[in-house]
Structure 1
Amino acid sequence: MASVTAESVVEATLKSYAALPKHGKPSVRDNGVPEWTILASISLTLPDACSSTATNGTQVVPISIGTGVKVLPAARLPPLGDTVHDCHAEVLARRGFVRWLLDQATRVARGEEHAGLVLWDAETKRFSLAPGVQAWLYVSALPVGVAQHVLSC
């Protein structure tokens, strides 16, 4: 498998983000001050065997993208807990990735069509990513707290 570079992960993330609708993205305010946000993604790298469109032996596929910069204060939390409390980009990207993993595992367990990137090992009774598939985290700014905790499931 060709080596993946951080630049290829960033490039794939920015390309996917640019393809999203303009609604909700930072813009320039009426007073000329540009808005900004932090962008995060979790991407999978797929070796040739997993993809017919791979270039240089590896394809980078952003699975989840999130933007955001804040946490709701305790005073604004609803009593039913039906609001996303932590809106940091890396937290939102992680949540989307976990949702994708759960969806893929459910499809595998039910025998439904799936991406083929999540596999069930009957011997260990565990799901795992397919051989050669790697997960990469990209954050456009330093994450809050200790980065090693971002992807712990």
Structure 2
Amino acid sequence: MLPSSAASSPPAPPPSPWDDVSWAESTSSTVLQHYNSLPKKGKPQGRESTVLAAFLLSTPQQDPRNLTVLSLATGTKCLGAARLNHHGDLVHDAHAEVVARRALLRLIYTEIGRSGASDWLVASGEKWKLRDGYHLHLYITQIPCGVMPVPPSPSELLREQLDSVNGCDDVGFVQRKPGRGDTTLSMSCFDKITRWSVVGIQGALLSHILEPLYLSTITIGQSPTGASDGFSVENNIKKVLDARLSSLSSKLLLPFKLNKPLFYEAPIPPKEFQQTSGDLQPLTCG
């Protein structure tokens, strides 16, 4: 007979289908192959660089590393506060992650409006949802703006230490996107990823007809200059996200939940997605 402590302990969770050293490489190569298949127009030239982001889909019928690119975008810019208007005819935020999500939402509307059945969405009562066994993933060529770096420390890092990171008194503070000149009012990409981890990526309008869609993994390209000592994508960014979500666990109503995606570090992306350094002024692709 098992000891009471062993009998009452919950079973170990099944291993993630993405816990594999080749997952990050497969994700980045799939996105970059798709990007390279697109026309040259609009891509960085010479010393120009940009950020690339893509949403991908994995299915249960095939190798989880055999991914499909659903949407893809590049971009590093957003409008300053002085240029905003209330007519709805300007794109305020054109960072890659945000534009890629916007494209994904257009695809979702198309899938729901199809005359035939969607390959990856299915009707569920009065709403639609992602088919069972299908998962959404995000790839970004660099760390999203707004990530507050966590200093190297043991896993039992005190809350007080986390709260004072990057000059902030509370990890719950929302950060604005960095900008040159006119200050922006757009939330940082990491703040938006945090929001997607609570209410889903589908947005308010689609929530009327679609159950929340959450990311299973986020894969981020390594910096060509290397990370600061003790910093890792898998551990540190996850730690910051977990800290920011911890205060929300008792405030959510169904069907929303706290979703904690797995983080992976991909190989260094091609030169056109690297921020130039040195004496030359970096140029961002329009």
Letter in 1 for 2:45: S
Secondary structure, counterpart of 1:83 in structure 2: coil
- Partner Cα separation in structure 2 for residue 117 and residue 69 of structure 1: 30
Among candidates 174, 194, 215, match of residue 148 of structure 1: 194
Secondary structure, counterpart of 2:77 in structure 1: coil
Among candidates 101, 114, 118, match of residue 94 of structure 1: 101
> What are the Cα deviations for residues 96-130 of structure 1, in whole angstroms up to 9, with x where unaligned?
111111221222xxxx13542110012xx221111
Deviation at 1:78, TM superposition (A): 5.0
- Partner Cα separation in structure 2 for residue 15 and residue 115 of structure 1: 25
Correspondence 1:70-109 to 2 at 5 A: 70-77=77-84, 80-107=87-114
Secondary structure, counterpart of 2:59 in structure 1: strand
Deviation at 1:58, TM superposition (A): 5.3
User: Could you tell me which residue of structure 1 aligns to residue 30 of structure 2?
Assistant: 12
Structure 2, unpaired ranges of 5+: 1-15, 146-189, 204-286
C-alpha contact 1:47 1:59 (8 A) present in aligned 2 = no
Among candidates 104, 122, 135, match of residue 119 of structure 1: 122
Among candidates 63, 68, 75, match of residue 75 of structure 2: 68
- Partner Cα separation in structure 2 for residue 140 and residue 114 of structure 1: 33
C-alpha contact 2:27 2:65 (8 A) present in aligned 1 = no
Residues 57, 87 of structure 1: CA spacing in aligned structure 2 closer, same or farther, 3 A cutoff? Answer: closer
TM-score, length-scaled by structure 2: 0.44
**Higher alpha-carbon deviation: 34-43 or 73-82:** 73-82
Secondary structure, counterpart of 1:92 in structure 2: helix
Residues 134, 126 of structure 1: CA spacing in aligned structure 2 closer, same or farther, 3 A cutoff? Answer: same
Q: Identity across aligned pairs (percent)?
A: 33
Report which of the two structures shows the higher radius of gyration computed on alpha carbons. Answer: 2
Once superposed, what is the RMSD of the aligned Cα atoms? 2.1
C-alpha contact 2:112 2:118 (8 A) present in aligned 1 = no
Mapped pair 1:46 → 2:59: yes
C-alpha contact 1:46 1:58 (8 A) present in aligned 2 = no
Alignment coverage as a number of residue pairs: 135
TM-score, length-scaled by structure 1: 0.78
C-alpha contact 1:47 1:58 (8 A) present in aligned 2 = no
- Partner Cα separation in structure 2 for residue 79 and residue 127 of structure 1: 32
Letter in 2 for 1:37: T
Give 1 or 2: higher strand fraction: 1
C-alpha contact 2:58 2:64 (8 A) present in aligned 1 = no
**Superposed structure 1 runs of 4+ greater than 3 Å apart:** none
Letter in 2 for 1:121: S
